[in-house]
Chain A
């Protein structure tokens, strides 16, 4: 079974590599969002799947990453993407430490509400500090240097479906590998013990607040990197990216894709981004349809699209018979 998954992953990777050559430009451009959301969701789901904490304010970190990159490229004229990413990680780590210090004392709805509050606090700050952030008009981002190479002579489409596409893909792969290692480390197992039974974890010598805080910091850093890339791809950053609705979008993607699977949120962001694109071409009420979709998935398949897909896959390879409980 494990081998089969490896083959599937390799096929997906191969497809991702040739996609800019075969796909329509616009669809290729959309996959940039897919990559950056996937990175952000890796962080988000570390909290949800492994620590059992639902953050409702993770757009805060997307905002931190995005605005850091915006300030660096537009205000300070430091266009190096790597520098933006590293600074985003640092800033997210600092903010996550302070916010997390307060939030991880609480669990469940209280944790969700507190993170929501901090997200909205940052949103208000962005709106009010008009002279710095441009308020609700936001900030424009300049095209970055990738690995020290200046691509300013390149056309927009060529840049986004060429160097920047592969740059994003590369970061996503690195982020996925790092997160995979974290969740399969002793630290990752301890996080799961805290999720399942905090008191028992305590009795085994696990300092639950410390572990939750570290997980929160790691989570924030990943989401910040996603934000930095997201803002660069859109070329624009505004407080809407930090608004609670955007946090809810992250929750939505994770639930639709399936939070119980490591790769579930990635599938969720794929569904979210492309489905939204399709639906908005018919109607502006795409959230209405998404709401219905979420309801259907939560009722029929709580494990999300990933669960449905793996079950279907298991049926295909004949591991289980139809109708049998998987």
Chain B
């Protein structure tokens, strides 16, 4: 197992966001975490990547406890993440955003007087990643001027440029039109192969994306693991799927509302 969470507990005030959660991700896996809003998916990602500290439990990365290590340190160990709301550097160009990751990976951040424009190593490696993510014509474009899907991709691309061993993607396709989702995922999978990122964990709401790309699915509900298995197993489990996307509930509520309205009208 490359990363393992053991008996994680996390509270926000009195609210228990994660209640004794244990999961392990194997090297080379493409796993999806599913669950309704507020289930604790992002909290879990935050804990695995050092953005949050759990109240109890351990996180092991290659057998080492990493609880309490900040994200900067974990990045150097090979763990990185992307964000649910596209995390971009709004005033920086696409290429610069990726360059930051390359600078960080090469440990050049403390070079105060080096001329970045002349650093061919950084430039070429950033260019490579930018091309993998189809930014060829928009290298110098400011991130803020790009459409939503592209913003998501900058977030992902810069994380990929760190060449992590494991990447945790918090809803890589949220806020993107359904037709673009598959394209983003294909770009992402292709890039991870080329860069050599073996292990990918994603939080995803779109079941179509979940089942087409991941071999393993972990369902969380109300801070607890609801199910953990291969995507075929989960697909057949109607209860888990409907719980994860809240379909049954919302459908019934919606139907009730419509029915009530109909009666009023009559």
Tell me which residues across on chain A come within 8 A of B80, comparing CB atoms: 203-205
Number of A-B pairs, beta carbon distance below 8 Å = 109
Does A155 belong to the interface (CB within 8 Å)? Answer: no
Complex partner residue of A199 from B87, B92, B101, B115, CB under 8 angstroms:
B87
Tell me which residues across on chain B come within 8 A of A185, comparing CB atoms: 111-116
Does A128 belong to the interface (CB within 8 Å)? Answer: no
Does B245 belong to the interface (CB within 8 Å)? Answer: no
Within the assembled complex, what's the spacing in Å between the Cα atoms of A172 and B105? 35
Closest-by-CB residue of A relative to B76 is A205
**Contact A187 B71, beta carbon cutoff 8 Å:** no
Does B34 belong to the interface (CB within 8 Å)? Answer: no
With A186-B116, A189-B103, A204-B159 as known contacts, state yes or no: A197 contacts B49, CB within 8 Å.
no
Tell me which residues across on chain A come within 8 A of B87, comparing CB atoms: 197, 199-200, 203
**Contact B119 A196, beta carbon cutoff 8 Å:** no
**Contact B72 A206, beta carbon cutoff 8 Å:** yes
Does A148 belong to the interface (CB within 8 Å)? Answer: no
Instruction: Annotate B99-135 by CB proximity to A: 1 below 8 A, 0 otherwise.
Output: 1110111001111111111010010000000000000
**Contact A200 B122, beta carbon cutoff 8 Å:** no
**Contact B122 A196, beta carbon cutoff 8 Å:** no
Tell me which residues across on chain A come within 8 A of B88, comparing CB atoms: 196-197, 200
With A199-B51, A203-B87 as known contacts, state yes or no: A186 contacts B92, CB within 8 Å.
no
Does A184 belong to the interface (CB within 8 Å)? Answer: yes
Within the assembled complex, what's the spacing in Å between the Cα atoms of A206 and B81? 14
Tell me which residues across on chain B come within 8 A of A202, comparing CB atoms: 51, 70-72
Min Cβ gap A175→B in Å is: 14
With A204-B158, A205-B72 as known contacts, state yes or no: A190 contacts B90, CB within 8 Å.
no
Instruction: Annotate A211-237 by CB proximity to B: 1 below 8 A, 0 otherwise.
Output: 100100010000000000000000000
Tell me which residues across on chain A come within 8 A of B158, comparing CB atoms: 200, 204
| Interface residue range, chain B | 35 or more
Does A291 belong to the interface (CB within 8 Å)? Answer: no
Min Cβ gap B216→A in Å is: 24
With A202-B71, A204-B162 as known contacts, state yes or no: A182 contacts B113, CB within 8 Å.
yes
How many chain A residues have a CB neighbour from B under 8 Å?
A: 28
With A189-B100, A192-B89, A193-B100 as known contacts, state yes or no: A204 contacts B110, CB within 8 Å.
no
Tell me which residues across on chain B come within 8 A of A203, comparing CB atoms: 49, 51, 71, 75, 80-83, 87, 159
Within the assembled complex, what's the spacing in Å between the Cα atoms of A206 and B91? 17
With A184-B115, A185-B111 as known contacts, state yes or no: A197 contacts B89, CB within 8 Å.
yes
Tell me which residues across on chain B come within 8 A of A273, comparing CB atoms: none
Does B59 belong to the interface (CB within 8 Å)? Answer: no
Min Cβ gap B202→A in Å is: 15
Does B204 belong to the interface (CB within 8 Å)? Answer: no
Within the assembled complex, what's the spacing in Å between the Cα atoms of A192 and B70? 20
Does B4 belong to the interface (CB within 8 Å)? Answer: no
Could you tell me which residues of chain B, from 44 to 78, have a CB within 8 Å of some CB in chain A? 49, 51, 70-72, 75-76
Does B96 belong to the interface (CB within 8 Å)? Answer: yes
Does B165 belong to the interface (CB within 8 Å)? Answer: no
**Contact A196 B89, beta carbon cutoff 8 Å:** yes
Does B217 belong to the interface (CB within 8 Å)? Answer: no
Within the assembled complex, what's the spacing in Å between the Cα atoms of A175 and B37? 53
Within the assembled complex, what's the spacing in Å between the Cα atoms of A53 and B70? 23
Within the assembled complex, what's the spacing in Å between the Cα atoms of A208 and B80? 16
Tell me which residues across on chain B come within 8 A of A189, comparing CB atoms: 92, 96, 99-100, 103, 116
Within the assembled complex, what's the spacing in Å between the Cα atoms of A214 and B112? 10
Closest-by-CB residue of B relative to A208 is B72
Does A207 belong to the interface (CB within 8 Å)? Answer: yes
Tell me which residues across on chain B come within 8 A of A181, comparing CB atoms: 112-113, 115
Within the assembled complex, what's the spacing in Å between the Cα atoms of A204 and B113? 21
Does A248 belong to the interface (CB within 8 Å)? Answer: no
Does B171 belong to the interface (CB within 8 Å)? Answer: no
Which of B76, B81, B99, B109 lies at the interface centre, i.e. has the most chain A CB atoms within 10 A of its CB? B109
Within the assembled complex, what's the spacing in Å between the Cα atoms of A186 and B71? 20
Tell me which residues across on chain A come within 8 A of B108, comparing CB atoms: 186
Tell me which residues across on chain A come within 8 A of B91, comparing CB atoms: 192, 195-196
Closest-by-CB residue of B relative to A191 is B109
Closest-by-CB residue of B relative to A199 is B87
Min Cβ gap A5→B in Å is: 15
Within the assembled complex, what's the spacing in Å between the Cα atoms of A149 and B162? 54
Tell me which residues across on chain A come within 8 A of B90, comparing CB atoms: 196-197
Tell me which residues across on chain B come within 8 A of A86, comparing CB atoms: none
**Contact B89 A190, beta carbon cutoff 8 Å:** no
Min Cβ gap A112→B in Å is: 21
Min Cβ gap B108→A in Å is: 5
Closest-by-CB residue of A relative to B75 is A205
Which 7 A-B residue pairs are closest in the complex by CB-CB distance? A205-B75, A196-B89, A200-B87, A205-B104, A186-B103, A202-B71, A186-B108
Q: A188-B116, A205-B101 are in contact. List 15 more A-B contacts (CB 8 A).
A: A185-B114, A190-B104, A196-B89, A196-B90, A196-B92, A200-B83, A202-B72, A203-B82, A204-B101, A205-B72, A205-B76, A205-B80, A206-B104, A207-B72, A208-B72
10 contacts between A and B (CB under 8 A): A186-B103, A190-B109, A192-B91, A196-B89, A196-B92, A200-B88, A200-B158, A204-B159, A205-B75, A205-B162
